[in-house]
């Protein structure tokens, strides 16, 4: 009887959903997962993020903020976001090297592969957690392909998350299915010609990339196999949550759902989860004096006059590239905030062009940040007029959310696809003309200072092109905000996903065995 009563009670007042998040070890994967967990929690779900000690330290400030219910604007306390800390698997990486952002070219080309090995070894603690807790769903990074079968064995639905645009997901799916690099439409074309334009067939727009901008399966067989494996696991999953919003890329949402047959919930921009992100910034490990110094410097600048230059957390520039970038910023005549990630270019004598040290010493033209920058605060500052970006999806979407147009400089991963979306589909950016797909541990072609200055001028100058992208960027930022508000498209997708997960709980079976045993 006691047990029946408890069941009836539970039907009337079901326990909150419990979601387990399994993010990959890189800021671009971790940051949006914490933001997403904060939203799930604000909407009434209990969330656990499974990660390793160093990554737990990286996300803890943001998790603490998520647990501070004042931020959600809700009266009732939200269920907690917890971190389940497990040791980083021993794969021969130096102690503490638990996140891709600590990698530099000096660590050697085999280091990223060790991260992939570490990913495989997390299955054991995952199984332990699942057996003891039996959550309602797992939100797994696509990189953890094993979690598709592991979650199924525990009878729990797996939702994929990769932190990419829907556009890039569609492009990479086309690439994996058809590999257009191997075919030429014109028999006279040399298939191996780097300058050859390759079309990705079947997409809503004509999408063409230079061959050299695409990942070549023949040159990167291990990476190709990794993507194929992840893709197969993603297709076996319950569905996918994406950090984007319907109004941003509607044709690609339709293509993803209908043509590719994927179940997808668009729940972004997740960085807008906390209403005060634009004012207080993201709670992270940025040093307070850096934030204060930078914002005070920007406060003195006119509206829309500053260009922010940052290439995410896993990009390195050679001394020759840094030199041209410094020259380009100088030549552009624009004021700039430039983030030079720690590990690269720390010795200025290697790359500083003549006169650049003096320019910086004057203090009025540029502000350099070495290490971590308060990106969301910078993007939302009124002095900001443009963002030179590598097109990492988090950065791009943060710019869209803030209404900031972009100079696009992709390097790797999904970044060349995102550039196409930003420049050709959304028309909120100007391309710098990067041609080579190469990882941060490899070399890139050097782009000249004049080209860099020219692109900044096109974006931030008073010409027609600049006016059009600025207007488009402002329009999209309004749409991004509405998507996240009550009644908005992402708000709705979130609700539908939660309802569906709740409905999956079959009446007798439960996710609450511990209570029934009491």
The answer to whether residues 371 and 101 touch, using CB atoms and an 8 Å cutoff, is no
Report the residue number, 35 or 136, with the smaller CB distance to ligand UDP.
35
Report the residue number, 71 or 271, with the smaller CB distance to ligand UDP.
271
The yes-or-no answer on residue 499 being catalytic is no
Nearest to 425 by CA among 160, 166, 86, 177: 166
Q: CB 359 → ligand UDP: shortest distance, Å?
A: 22
- Partnered with residue 85 across adjacent β-strands are 51
Which of 55, 230, 244, 395 is the binder for ligand UDP (CB under 6 A)? 395
Which of 40, 161, 372, 494 is the binder for ligand UDP (CB under 6 A)? 372
Q: Is 283 in the site for ligand UDP (CB under 6 A)?
A: no
Q: CB 258 → ligand UDP: shortest distance, Å?
A: 27
Contacts of 11 (CB under 8 A, 6+ apart): 507
Contact pattern from residue 300 through residue 329 relative to ligand UDP, giving x for each residue in contact according to CB under 6 A and a dash for the rest: ----------x-xxx---------------
Q: CB 277 → ligand UDP: shortest distance, Å?
A: 10
Report the residue number, 129 or 144, with the smaller CB distance to ligand UDP.
144
Peptide bond into 269 cis (omega under 30): yes
**Which among 183-191, 321-329, 393-401, 507-515 is the span making contact with ligand UDP, rule CB under 6 A?**
393-401
Which of 144, 238, 338, 393 is the binder for ligand UDP (CB under 6 A)? 393
Report the residue number, 238 or 393, with the smaller CB distance to ligand UDP.
393
**Which among 51-59, 255-263, 386-394, 453-461 is the span making contact with ligand UDP, rule CB under 6 A?**
386-394
Report the residue number, 130 or 373, with the smaller CB distance to ligand UDP.
373
Question: Residue 418 and residue 396: Cα distance in Å, rounded?
Answer: 8
> Structure tokens of 158?
């797996």
Binding residues for ligand UDP restricted to 331-360, rule: CB under 6 A:
339
Contacts of 237 (CB under 8 A, 6+ apart): 140, 148, 151, 157, 158, 159, 160
Say how many C-beta atoms besides its own lie within 10 A of residue 7's C-beta.
16
In the set 35, 72, 136, 141, the catalytic residue is: 141
Q: CB 411 → ligand UDP: shortest distance, Å?
A: 8
Binding residues for ligand UDP restricted to 57-76, rule: CB under 6 A:
none
**Which among 67-75, 238-246, 261-269, 368-376 is the span making contact with ligand UDP, rule CB under 6 A?**
368-376
How would you class 186 by CB atoms within 10 Å of its CB: exposed for 0-12, middle for 13-18, buried for 19 or more?
Answer: exposed
Report the residue number, 163 or 454, with the smaller CB distance to ligand UDP.
163
Report the residue number, 28 or 429, with the smaller CB distance to ligand UDP.
28
> What is the SS3 assignment for 294?
helix
> Structure tokens of 337?
């905030």
Size of the site for ligand UDP (CB under 6 A): 19
Under DSSP, the state recorded for 88 is: P
Q: Is 168 in the site for ligand UDP (CB under 6 A)?
A: no
Q: Is 410 in the site for ligand UDP (CB under 6 A)?
A: no
Q: How far is CA 129 from CA 16, 84, 85, 148, in A?
A: 18, 9, 11, 15
Which of 306, 337, 360, 373 is the binder for ligand UDP (CB under 6 A)? 373
Q: CB 351 → ligand UDP: shortest distance, Å?
A: 19
DSSP string, 311-333: --SS----HHHHHHHHHHHHHH-
Contact pattern from residue 4 through residue 33 relative to ligand UDP, giving x for each residue in contact according to CB under 6 A and a dash for the rest: ----------------------xxx--x--
Element (H, E) at 469: helix 464-484
> Structure tokens of 365?
């033209």
**The three-state (H, E, C) secondary structure of 480-505, written as one string:** HHHHHCCCCHHHHHHHHHHHHHHHHC
Question: Residue 372 and residue 283: Cα distance in Å, rounded?
Answer: 12
The yes-or-no answer on residue 29 being catalytic is yes
Helices (H), 255-336: 277-280, 288-299, 319-332
Q: CB 292 → ligand UDP: shortest distance, Å?
A: 16
How many residues can be counted in the chain?
518
Contacts of 460 (CB under 8 A, 6+ apart): 304, 305, 307, 334, 385, 386, 466
Contact pattern from residue 469 through residue 498 relative to ligand UDP, giving x for each residue in contact according to CB under 6 A and a dash for the rest: ------------------------------
**Helix and strand totals (H; E) in the chain:** 20, 15
Q: Is 401 in the site for ligand UDP (CB under 6 A)?
A: no
Report the residue number, 181 or 400, with the smaller CB distance to ligand UDP.
400
Q: CB 341 → ligand UDP: shortest distance, Å?
A: 7
Report the residue number, 413 or 501, with the smaller CB distance to ligand UDP.
413
Report the residue number, 16 or 392, with the smaller CB distance to ligand UDP.
392
Contacts of 33 (CB under 8 A, 6+ apart): 21, 23, 49, 139, 141, 161, 163
Q: What is the dihedral of CA 102, 107, 113, 119, to 10 degrees?
A: -30
Q: CB 53 → ligand UDP: shortest distance, Å?
A: 20
Nearest to 44 by CA among 509, 501, 515: 501
Q: Is 277 in the site for ligand UDP (CB under 6 A)?
A: no
Q: Which positions touch ligand UDP (CB under 6 A)? A: 26-28, 31, 282, 310, 312-314, 339, 372-373, 375-376, 392-395, 398
Please give the positions annotated as active site: 29, 141
């Amino acid at each position: 009887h006691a047990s029946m009563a408890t069941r009836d009670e539970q039907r009337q007042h079901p326990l909150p959903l419990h979601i387990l998040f399994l993010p990959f070890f890189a800021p671009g994967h971790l940051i949006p997962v914490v933001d997403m967990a904060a939203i799930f929690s604000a909407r009434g779900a209990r969330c656990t993020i499974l990660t390793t000690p160093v990554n737990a330290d990286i996300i803890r400030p943001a998790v603490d903020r998520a647990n501070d219910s004042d931020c959600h604007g809700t009266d009732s306390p939200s269920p907690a976001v917890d971190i389940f800390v497990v040791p980083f698997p021993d794969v021969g990486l130096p102690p503490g090297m638990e996140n891709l952002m600590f990698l530099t070219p000096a660590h050697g080309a085999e280091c990223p592969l060790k991260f992939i090995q570490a990913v495989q070894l997390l299955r054991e603690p995952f199984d332990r957690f699942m057996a003891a807790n039996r959550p309602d769903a797992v939100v797994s990074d696509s990189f953890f392909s094993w979690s598709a079968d592991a979650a199924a064995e525990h009878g729990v639905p797996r939702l994929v998350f990769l932190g990419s645009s829907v556009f890039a997901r569609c492009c990479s799916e086309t690439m994996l299915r058809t590999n257009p690099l191997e075919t030429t439409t014109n028999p006279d074309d040399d298939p191996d010609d780097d300058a050859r334009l390759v079309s990705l067939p079947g997409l809503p727009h004509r999408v063409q990339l230079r061959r050299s901008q695409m990942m070549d399966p023949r040159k990167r067989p291990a990476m190709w196999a990794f993507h194929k494996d992840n893709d197969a696991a993603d297709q076996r999953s319950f569905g996918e949550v994406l950090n984007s919003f319907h109004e941003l890329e509607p044709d690609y949402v339709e293509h993803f759902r209908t043509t590719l047959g994927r179940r997808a919930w668009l729940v972004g921009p997740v960085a807008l989860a906390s209403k005060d992100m634009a004012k207080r910034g993201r709670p992270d490990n940025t040093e307070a004096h850096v934030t204060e110094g930078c914002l005070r410097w920007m406060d003195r600048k006119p509206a829309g006059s500053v260009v922010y230059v940052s290439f995410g957390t896993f990009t390195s520039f050679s001394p020759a590239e840094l030199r041209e970038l410094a020259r380009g910023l100088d030549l552009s005549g624009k004021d700039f905030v430039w983030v030079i990630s720690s590990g690269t270019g720390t010795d200025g004598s290697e790359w500083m062009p003549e006169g650049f040290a003096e320019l910086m010493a004057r203090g009025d033209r540029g502000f350099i940040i070495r290490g971590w920058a308060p990106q969301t605060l910078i993007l939302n500052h009124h002095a900001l007029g443009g963002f030179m970006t590598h097109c990492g999806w988090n950065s791009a979407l943060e710019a869209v959310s803030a209404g900031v147009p972009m100079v696009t400089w992709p390097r790797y991963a999904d970044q060349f696809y995102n550039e196409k979306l930003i420049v050709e589909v959304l028309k909120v950016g100007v391309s710098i003309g990067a041609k080579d797909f190469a990882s941060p541990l490899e070399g890139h072609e050097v782009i000249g200072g004049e080209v860099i200055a020219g692109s900044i001028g096109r974006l931030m100058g008073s010409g027609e092109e600049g006016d059009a992208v600025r207007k488009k960027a402002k329009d999209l930022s309004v749409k991004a905000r509405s998507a996240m508000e009550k009644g908005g498209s992402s708000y709705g997708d979130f609700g539908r996903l939660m309802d569906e997960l709740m409905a999956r709980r079959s009446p007798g079976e439960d996710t609450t065995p511990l209570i029934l045993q009491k």
